[in-house]
Amino acid sequence: MNRRELVSMVGAMGAGAALGTSQAIADGHGKGNDNKPMAPLGNHHLHFCGIHCAKKDPRIQIVTQHYCGMVGEGMHQCLLYDSVGKGARLLGVEYIISDDIFRKLPDMEKPYWHPHTYEVLGGGLIAPTMKPDEEMAFMKGLLLTWGKTWHTWPDPTTPVPMGEPMLMWSLMGDGQDDPKVFAARDKEFGVKTADIRKKRIEVIGYEVPAVPQPKNVKVIGRQWTATGEDKPTPKKN
């Protein structure tokens, strides 16, 4: 993937943030040609890692590897895996749209879409294959986007996918995370969530959101605050 493609990808997410070329992402990916049997797989070259929780029960939290590609203006689609290993299990899918697209959705559709604001600012989302400046630019572009996520393999410890697909959600405020899940993710990728959080607040210029987890699956997500005008809080000096 060249620089123009990567910039276009992030810009379409909503913030227009510029990214430099990421050789770690591009190597070995995106080589499928149009109208070839394997072409769709070649579009999933953008990798990042997040921690999903079930909307019906936020105590269910799963480290999830995203492999994404653009499918239209302001929209990406992602294949979700439980690891970055060769034998990774396909957990489900996620669709990511810009804030402009989300605002135009009918209210009956909006409860399926979770915000990415806390995940970005709180350090829940990381892009291990990107260089630091590329990752920061990418996270700025992802900040105001929304995701619709279904895990068709709800419990990756089972030998085969069991039960109904599970609608996943995002952590949206402090105290909602499972420390053990975050500790395992940080150890695997050699990062520290607290350091990531501090850096992103400094660079992006906003405090982390404070939104409670939804009381039921019909609640429409909010990006920044629980009540009042849903707008960010500037970084404290």
Residue 229 lies in a domain: no
Q: How confident is the model at residue 26 (pLDDT cuts 50, 70, 90)?
A: very low
Whether residue 21 has pLDDT greater than 90: no
- Please indicate, yes or no, if residue 212 is contained in any of the structural domains: no
- Look at residue 34 and tell me if it is in a domain: no
Residue 231 lies in a domain: no
More confident residue, 34 or 125: 125
Task: Encode pLDDT of 38-68 as tens digits.
Answer: 778 777 889 999 999 999 999 999 999 999 9
pLDDT at 33: 55
User: Distance between CA 88 and CA 86 in Å, rounded?
Assistant: 6
Instruction: Tell me the pLDDT band of 79, cut-offs 50, 70 and 90.
Output: very high
Looking up tokens 């829940």 gives 124
pLDDT in tens, 99-111: 999 999 999 999 9
The residue-averaged pLDDT of 117-144 equals 97
pTM of the model: 0.86
Residue 47's domain comprises 3-26+39-204
Q: Does 2 score more than 50 pLDDT?
A: no
Flag whether pLDDT at 37 surpasses 70: yes
Say yes or no to pLDDT of 25 above 50: no
What is residue 192's predicted lDDT score, i.e. its pLDDT?
97
Asked if residue 222 is part of any domain, the answer here is: no
Cβ distance 77 to 69 under 8 Å? yes
| Domain-located, residue 217 | no
- Per the domain annotation, does 157 fall within a domain? yes
The reported pLDDT for the residue numbered 29 is 43
> Residue 209 domain-assigned?
no
Q: Decide if pLDDT at 13 tops 90.
A: no
Please tell me the predicted confidence (pLDDT) of residue 4.
46
Tell whether the model's pLDDT for residue 141 goes beyond 80. yes
Is the Cβ–Cβ distance between 97 and 74 less than 8 Å? yes
- The count of domains in the chain is 1
